[in-house]
Structure 1
Amino acid sequence: MLNTLSGRFLILTIIFVMLAEVMIFVPSIARFREDYLLSRLERAQIASLALLADDMISPDLEEELLRNAEVFNVVLRRDEARQLILAAPMPRPISDSFDLRDASAVELIGDAVARLIDPEPKVIRVIGNPVREAGLLIEITMETKALRAAMVDYGLRVLILSAVISVVTALLLFLAVRAFLVKPIKGVVHHMKAYARDPEDARRIITPESSLRELRQAEEALETMQTELTSALKQKERLAQLGGAVAKISHDLRNMLTSAQLFTDRIEMSQDPGVKRMAPKLVNSITRAVHLCEATLAFGKAEEPAPRLERFVLADLVSDVFDSEQLSVEGHDVQFSSDIPASLQMRADGEQLFRVISNLIRNARIAMIQSGKSGQITVTAEESPDHWLIHVRDTGPGLPPKAQENLFRPFQGGVSKGGTGLGLAISQELIRGHGGQLRLKETGESGTVFEICLPRGDADLGMV
């Protein structure tokens, strides 16, 4: 019971209603005490009027009048003269006096609480105004025992009534909460459990139906999350299938390229000057294709090969990239240039860095060709005691906002029309394998700049 929302709400409602009743109880018990004392004053005044009507009454009749009024004596002030009308022996001295003529609410509440707390019987003096202006004041002395007993009886009845009201109110609220809040929440929980059993089934996605604004917002947020998760799971399944297909294709393609590599070995023995000039580039291209197939197979196994670090001249590697891209820009006004110190040597995996720079240049080249404008792609590099920095800059149209939001996410961050975004995702993974960073430095109407930052120290490279 205590572990349920409705159960806790029931208990809290009872507690809060009881607190409210207690706040009402204190003024009401003070009001009851005041009415009790005023009624005793009125009774005493009626008894005194009998004496005023007949100056001589018997002691027995006087005692009976005082007993009926439940007082010990009555003093009536008429015409500035204080006159003891009725009197009887008092069991003990007067302990307190209370003037009801101008008593404030705070005084009445304080006196009532004090009377409830103190169980010892006492004799008190009570002063008030006579009813119907039958004098200037009336004063009585009385015992507090009957007063306190009446106050306790009245308080118990009020508390019992308050408890009944609290329980009934809490029960009604309990039923209302179960109907309007707990039941809809249980419905949402049921939807969540049903969805968890088969998250790829779009029929299990919750449909917002609640009329409560807050609960409907929760249902709408849950619907959005479930829709995105279902799409992601379906995409993951498609990627897994695609990965299997790519692995098979890469395996067969690697075998074909290996055969082509054997033929290029014979081409290198040709004495033709043109063949001699082109053969090394052809061999390098086929070798990189073979390495790419092997890397693709490793990627399909979710394990990108660790970089094989070696020293090489960066300018030569960038020149090879330009040569491989040069044929793709024939008929288009796209120029390649580099500003790399001839003596700058890097320690990295040359094949992986070739793939990264080639991907960046290829994306820039495709974007400029699709825009139909002339442009230039420039690769610059610099080194510091801690890092090598490579910048690939183009004068293309810049990246669209959607491409910037999903830049390095496969199948979502394509920078060109029809692109898959795999190139940038793989490039970022390769650079991270070196302990470096690949980031978009700037983009806009004037062009785009990507920055490759590679650490120079072996410790920064993550080598063991």
Structure 2
Amino acid sequence: MKHQASPDNPVPASGVDREGAPDLEMASRFGRHRFGGLSGKLLLLTILFVMIAEVFIYVPSIANFRNTWLKDRLATAGVAASVLAETNTIAPRLQEELLRATGAVTISLDQGSRRSLIAMSGVPSTVDFSIDLAKDNPWRAVTNSFALLAYRGDGYMRVVGAGQMAHTERVDVVFPVRLLQQEMRAFSYRILALSLVISVFTAGLVYITLRAVFIRPLRRLTRSMEQFAENPEDASGIIEVSARQDELGDAEIRLAKMEEALSRALHQKQRLADLGLAVSKINHDLRNLLASAQLFLERLEHVPDPTVSRLAPKILATLDRAVGYTQAVMAYGKAQERAPQRRLLNLHRVGEDVADVLGILDRPGITFENKVSADLEVDADPEQLFRVLLNLARNAVQALEAEKDETLVRRITLEATRAGKCVHIIVSDTGPGIPANLRPALFKAFHSGSKTGGIGLGLAIVAELLKAHGGKIVLDEAEPCTCFRIELPDRSV
């Protein structure tokens, strides 16, 4: 059964606004989930993280590429140096071929005491970079590589490295910076392209895996919540638990339990709402019947009979309270119990009125002990405090009357003491006590099961009335019988 919106209860249906139009924001949310949801975010994050990893791989790779490139040129020049060391001359054709192979403008051999020019195609104007591979280290290689990549100009670079024939030989090569820079940029583009391919491929695998393992089960949970929200009283909308053994499987189990408990609670509340509707329909007729009974009793007050004269006012007061109780039941169903109208009361007299209304003194085998001091005053609403004690005493009477053994002591005791600005009231009986399984929900509405015919409103009303006074009621579980302890502070507290 779907809940209807009203001025007092504006509860729109799921996915529908208050005018009945579809909630476009909610309806389109799932359309954006494909790329804006978790799976899309995971895809982008995976690509980003793989690219970051590739950056850490690229930094040493570009430095290694620079070193390898330079060493290859020096090795080629070293071959020419070995020829020079043997023949002391190099043919012009071999010089041209050497310069073309290395891309250098000058190649020379430093033998310590002597420096020989191997080949030259021109005189370099400016040398912007000078690299000695014998003194090079990884950090210098990295910083120099990025300096070469960022360089703008037509300058030259000088590279010095060990020769091929002896450790004392050093080959000195000068070539344009642009030559190495172009090779390094081409290498960087290849690395970037490869990184993108790896990132997209890896991210695609992660996306597909996570979508199948996590996103689809999460969407299943979300759809189940939406379907259940549309009609929470329908038990068929409860999610079916899968065989997953991970955290999502636990979430499904917990969601199923929650939906099942909520469905039961809503079903019970709907039945209570129907009960409240039925009570509201008979409330008017019941009040009319009670009013008629009051008129008849008012006539009996004039009958010259001592018993009638003594009982008629009490019956009239009881009928007045009956009318008030019908209104109280309706007020409880609407959660509109009136605020306490507190006055100073004589608690001993209130206890006597409760015993008189219940007729405890006329019940065989049940005694009522009012141990409240005759001068003890309590700050409370007269009618509401009377209802509190009446409900507790009535429950005690019903529990004692259920005991058929005449040898049992059946006694109800009312005690009270004042401690500063707080009155402590004790209502106890010698009955069998309250079962342990009923104690956790003892003060909840419609949870009573300790007596036949009860609907479980008495103690719930007691707790609500005392809470409105700033007080509380607890069951003293240390006592073997039923013993309720009430704390009722004054208004100043």
Q: What range describes the TM-score normalised by the shorter chain of this pair?
A: 0.7 to 0.9
Structure 2 CA distance, aligned partners of 1:18 and 1:124?
32
State the Cα distance separating 1:26 from its structure 2 match. Answer: 1.2
Q: Which runs of 5+ in 2 are unaligned?
A: 1-31
Structure 2 CA distance, aligned partners of 1:86 and 1:312?
123
Partner of 2:348: 315
The secondary structure found in structure 1 opposite 2:259 is: helix
The secondary structure found in structure 2 opposite 1:92 is: coil
Partner of 2:465: 430
Query: For 1:228-247, what aligned pairs fall within 5 Å after superposition?
Result: 228-247=261-280
2:447 pairs with one of 369, 387, 412: 412
Partner of 2:109: 75
Structure 1 CA distance, aligned partners of 2:114 and 2:435?
103
Matched, 1:169 2:202: yes
Partner of 1:354: 386
Partner of 2:81: 48
When the two structures are aligned, how many residues end up with a matched partner? 452
State the Cα distance separating 1:9 from its structure 2 match. Answer: 2.5
Partner of 1:30: 63
From the superposition, tell whether residues 32 and 414 of structure 1 become closer, same or farther in structure 2 (CA, over 3 Å).
same
CA contact (8 A) 1:48 1:85 kept: no
Structure 1 CA distance, aligned partners of 2:415 and 2:230?
54
The secondary structure found in structure 1 opposite 2:172 is: strand
State the Cα distance separating 1:398 from its structure 2 match. Answer: 6.3
CA contact (8 A) 1:378 1:394 kept: yes
Query: For 1:20-419, what aligned pairs fall within 5 Å after superposition?
Result: 20-71=53-104, 72-75=106-109, 77=111, 83-84=115-116, 86-88=118-120, 89-92=122-125, 94-101=127-134, 103-130=136-163, 134-143=166-175, 144-209=177-242, 211=244, 213-247=246-280, 254=287, 257-258=290-291, 260-261=293-294, 264-265=297-298, 281-299=314-332, 303-304=336-337, 312-323=345-356, 324=358, 326=360, 330-331=364-365, 336-346=368-378, 348-364=380-396, 374=409, 377-382=412-417, 389-393=424-428, 402-412=437-447, 419=454
The secondary structure found in structure 1 opposite 2:370 is: strand
From the superposition, tell whether residues 140 and 442 of structure 1 become closer, same or farther in structure 2 (CA, over 3 Å).
farther
RMSD: 3.7
CA contact (8 A) 1:410 1:421 kept: yes
Q: TM-score, normalised by structure 1?
A: 0.81
CA contact (8 A) 1:391 1:449 kept: yes
From the superposition, tell whether residues 160 and 266 of structure 1 become closer, same or farther in structure 2 (CA, over 3 Å).
same
From the superposition, tell whether residues 66 and 258 of structure 1 become closer, same or farther in structure 2 (CA, over 3 Å).
closer
CA contact (8 A) 1:66 1:86 kept: no
The secondary structure found in structure 2 opposite 1:148 is: helix
The secondary structure found in structure 2 opposite 1:443 is: coil
CA contact (8 A) 1:431 1:454 kept: no
Structure 2 CA distance, aligned partners of 1:220 and 1:43?
73
Partner of 2:16: none
From the superposition, tell whether residues 67 and 353 of structure 1 become closer, same or farther in structure 2 (CA, over 3 Å).
same
Structure 2 CA distance, aligned partners of 1:179 and 1:25?
33
Structure 1 CA distance, aligned partners of 2:129 and 2:336?
94
How much identity, in percent, do the aligned residues show?
Answer: 38
Matched, 1:10 2:43: yes
Partner of 2:15: none
State the Cα distance separating 1:422 from its structure 2 match. Answer: 0.9
State the Cα distance separating 1:63 from its structure 2 match. Answer: 4.3
Structure 1 CA distance, aligned partners of 2:434 and 2:115?
107
Q: TM-score, normalised by structure 2?
A: 0.77
Q: Which runs of 5+ in 1 are unaligned?
A: none
CA contact (8 A) 2:426 2:483 kept: no
State the Cα distance separating 1:199 from its structure 2 match. Answer: 1.7
CA contact (8 A) 1:30 1:108 kept: yes
From the superposition, tell whether residues 368 and 23 of structure 1 become closer, same or farther in structure 2 (CA, over 3 Å).
farther
